[in-house]
């Protein structure tokens, strides 16, 4: 049994390699839902969908999210009502949000629905949201606290980050299966995702960090920071906003209380020593995933621990 902790695009790319080496039935992916947002009455789970679409082979690979070849008729029509939709919603993609929202209204849990969606799209691995409860990542900016999607998509991650808030963190419980998967695994992989708003949220859910400390699994993380910058997304701004250094070392430090092995890019080999002083084994390899072969090779390194 292998469990992966995942955010969106970076995690999904990494997992594309991992699923070539591991049977679906042996893999559980726990996905960040701090980015989830209700728009136009629909419940949208961006990271869950990115992981699901990517592994199902239907993601728009160029963008890293959405469904390839999707049309945007509904979104265009929404624009005519003068409500300027800042969040991209393809017509096929909408079906996922509607299916999810309809079942939520009928009392199903997000975790149950996520499994249904992934099965309908032909996946045999288990994708779990980190929690079925309300958990909302908000970014504190000079103009106030805004939903993470508003910070990222609507405002283009341009605001200075003054802080990060996790609304609901006091009461959100891990979805059924999350702690169990961590405890029952031989390997827990922390995907190359944003350490603050993707992995940091999962770790903040009550009981998850404790499970990672208690489990007998080997715990391996892949750095999302290469040569002092994230491959994608605003991890640099968020780390800086929290007063942290933007480096592989900085990420390793955030995980050092539970982590066994940290995999960093050859570009950051100079940080190996600093990371090992945290009590974490540091492995240097190529972590840039351009081709499928790169992804499989990186997954193989992770599996070898």
Interface residues toward a second copy, by CB under 8 A: 38-43, 70-71, 73-78, 80-83, 91-92, 94-96, 98-99, 101-102, 104-105, 116-117, 120-121
Residues 6+ apart with CB under 8 A from 5: 30, 188, 189, 190, 191, 193, 199, 202, 203
**Shortest Cβ 102–a second copy spacing (Å):** 4
What's the chain's length in residues? 305
Task: Please identify, using beta-carbon distances, which residue of 81 and 170 lies nearer to a second copy.
Answer: 81
Residue 105 beta carbon to a second copy: minimum distance, rounded to whole angstroms: 6
Q: Are strands 27-31 and 126-129 parallel, antiparallel or unpaired?
A: parallel
Comparison of 89 and 205: residue with beta carbon closer to a second copy: 89
The nearest distance, CB 24 to a second copy, in angstroms, is 19
C-alpha to C-alpha distance for 103 and 108, rounded to whole angstroms: 5
Residue 1 or 40 with smaller CB distance to a second copy: 40
- DSSP classification of residue 98: H
Cα–Cα distance between 292 and 71 in angstroms, integer? 27
Distance CA 265, CA 254 (A): 17
Nearer to a second copy, 87 or 281 (CB): 87
Residue 58 CB, nearest approach to a second copy (Å): 10
Q: Which is nearer to a second copy, 73 or 213 (CB)?
A: 73
State in angstroms the smallest separation of the CB of 39 from a second copy: 7
User: Which DSSP state fits 300?
Assistant: H
């Amino acid at each position: 049994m292998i469990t992966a902790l995942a955010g969106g695009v970076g995690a999904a790319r990494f997992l594309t390699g991992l699923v070539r080496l591991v049977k679906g039935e042996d893999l559980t992916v726990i996905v960040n839902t701090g980015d989830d947002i209700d728009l136009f009455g629909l419940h949208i789970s961006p990271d869950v969908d990115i992981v699901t679409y990517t592994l199902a082979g239907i993601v728009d690979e160029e963008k890293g999210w959405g469904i390839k070849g999707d049309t945007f008729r509904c979104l265009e029509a929404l624009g005519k009502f003068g409500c300027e939709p800042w969040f991209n919603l393809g017509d096929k993609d909408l079906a996922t949000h509607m299916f999810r929202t309809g079942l939520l209204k009928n009392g199903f849990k997000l975790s149950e629905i996520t499994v249904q969606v992934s099965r309908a799209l032909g996946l045999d691995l288990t994708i779990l949201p980190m929690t079925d409860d309300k958990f909302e990542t908000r970014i504190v900016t000079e103009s106030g606290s805004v939903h993470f999607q508003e910070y990222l998509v609507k405002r283009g991650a341009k605001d200075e980050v003054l802080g990060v808030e996790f609304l609901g963190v006091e009461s959100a419980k891990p979805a059924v299966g999350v702690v169990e998967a961590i405890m029952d695994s031989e390997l827990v992989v922390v995907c190359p995702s944003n350490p603050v708003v993707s992995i940091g949220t999962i770790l903040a859910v009550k009981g998850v960090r404790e499970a990672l400390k208690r489990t007998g699994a080997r715990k391996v993380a892949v750095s999302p920071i290469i040569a002092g910058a994230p491959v994608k997304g605003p991890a640099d701004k968020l780390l800086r906003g929290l007063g942290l250094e933007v480096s592989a070392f900085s990420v390793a430090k955030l995980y050092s209380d539970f982590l066994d092995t940290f995999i960093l890019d050859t570009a950051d080999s100079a940080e190996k020593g600093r990371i090992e002083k945290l009590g974490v084994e540091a492995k240097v390899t190529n972590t840039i995933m351009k081709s499928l072969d790169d992804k499989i090779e990186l997954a193989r390194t992770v599996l070898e621990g």
